[in-house]
Amino acid sequence: MRLRFILSQIGKGLRSHVAMTISVILVTFISLTFVGVAYLIQSQVGKLKGEWYDKVEVAVFMCAEGDTSPNCAHKEATDEQIKEVGALLESANLKPFVQQVYFETKQEAYDNAKKVLDSSWVEQLTPEQMPVSYRIKLTDPTQYEVISDELTGRPGVESVVDQREVLEPLFKLLDRATLTSIGLGGVMIIAAALLITTTIRLSAMSRRRETEIMRYVGASTLFIQLPFMIEGAIAALIGAALSVAGLWAGVRFLVEGWLARGSSAMNTISTTDVWLAAPWLILLALVLALISSMITLSRYTKV
C-alpha cells in the first residue's frame, strides 16, 4: 500500500508539472553534456600527449654555408665542431637524458625536404646548401631544456629545436576548450539545481493539504519527502541518460567514424571513454537532484 501510494504521488507530481519537468531534463542534459565533453577533451589530450611526446625529437641544426644566424655569421660548421657536438651528446653529462642519436647528412636532409616541402621551392636548392643535424630521441621528452642549455650557442650550432613546440599550441587550445566546457557545465548545473528546486517547491505547495494530512496520521518525514525526491531524481536521471547517449553518438559518428578514419595515425578517444564517464555523470545527476530536493523539502515539508 505504501509503495502504491508513493508511486501514485510521483506520477501525480510529474503530470502536474510537465513543462517544469521537461525543463529540468533539458537543463540537466545540457549541463552534463558540457561536463562530459570536458572529460572527453582532457582524455584526448592525454592520449595525444602519451602518443606524440614519445615520438618527438630534439633537432640540433649545425650551421650551413651562408647561414645568417648570429651564431653562424655566414660560416659553415667545421668537421671538428660537428664531432664536438656528437661527442657531447655521448658524454656522461647528457647520456642519461639521451635515448638515441641519429645524424642526418646534407643529402638526407635534402631528400627529406623534397618529401615534405613544395618541390618547386626545393629544386632551387642543392644538397650542399642543406645543414647537417643531429636528431635526438630523449629518455624523458620533458627534459628538453637540458639538451638546449648545453648545445645552444655552441660554435657551429645554428639552433636547437624541440618538436614539442609544434604540438604545445594544440594542447593549450584543447586545455582551454576543457576549461570552457567545465565553466559552461558549472553554470548549467547551477541552473539545473535551481530548476529542480523550483519544480519540487511547486509540487510540494500544490500538495500541501495532502502532506498535512500525512503528518496528522503520523507519517515519517522520509515517507512524506520521498515522492518529491524521486520526482527530481527521475528527471535528473533522464537528463543524464540523454547526455550519455548524446556523447556516445558524438564520439561514435564524429570521432570514430569521421576523425579517426581521416587520420588513422592519431590515437583518438572511443566510445569506451564515454562508458567510463557515464557512471560519474549519472552519480552527479543523482547528487544534484538529491541535494536540491533536500534543501527545498526541509522548508516546504517540515514536520
Are residues 205 and 189 located together in one domain of the fold? yes
Residue 253 reports pLDDT greater than 50: yes
| Secondary structure class of 48 (helix, strand, coil) | helix
CATH for 82: 3.30.70.3040
Instruction: Name the one residue in this structure whose C-alpha cell is 648545453.
Output: 150
Instruction: Name the one residue in this structure whose C-alpha cell is 664531432.
Output: 83
Question: How does pLDDT run across 184-197, given as a tens digit for each residue?
Answer: 778 877 877 777 77
Are residues 196 and 276 located together in one domain of the fold? yes
- Where among 162, 196, 214 does a domain terminate? 162
Predicted confidence at residue 283, as pLDDT, reads 92
How far apart (Å, rounded) are the C-alpha atoms in residues 167 and 171? 6
Instruction: Name the one residue in this structure whose C-alpha cell is 501510494.
Output: 5
Question: How does pLDDT run across 128-138, given as a tens digit for each residue?
Answer: 778 888 888 88
Are residues 38 and 181 located together in one domain of the fold? yes
Are residues 124 and 26 located together in one domain of the fold? no
Task: Enter the pTM of the model.
Answer: 0.62
Predicted confidence at residue 119, as pLDDT, reads 59
Residue 117 reports pLDDT greater than 70: no
Sign of CA dihedral 288, 289, 295, 298: negative
Predicted confidence at residue 279, as pLDDT, reads 93
Are residues 84 and 119 located together in one domain of the fold? yes
Are residues 89 and 68 located together in one domain of the fold? yes
Query: Considering the chain, what is the average pLDDT of its residues?
Result: 75
Are residues 74 and 147 located together in one domain of the fold? yes
What domain range is 131 assigned to? 58-162
- Where among 132, 162, 192 does a domain terminate? 162
Are residues 127 and 184 located together in one domain of the fold? no
- Where among 141, 162, 183 does a domain terminate? 162
Are residues 180 and 44 located together in one domain of the fold? yes
* Range with lowest mean pLDDT among 133-137, 205-209, 230-234, 262-266: 262-266
* Alpha helix ranges (H) inside 152-259: 164-206, 208-216, 221-250
Are residues 176 and 282 located together in one domain of the fold? yes
Domains: count for the chain: 2
Are residues 287 and 186 located together in one domain of the fold? yes
* Range with lowest mean pLDDT among 31-40, 94-103, 111-120, 249-258: 111-120
Are residues 39 and 98 located together in one domain of the fold? no
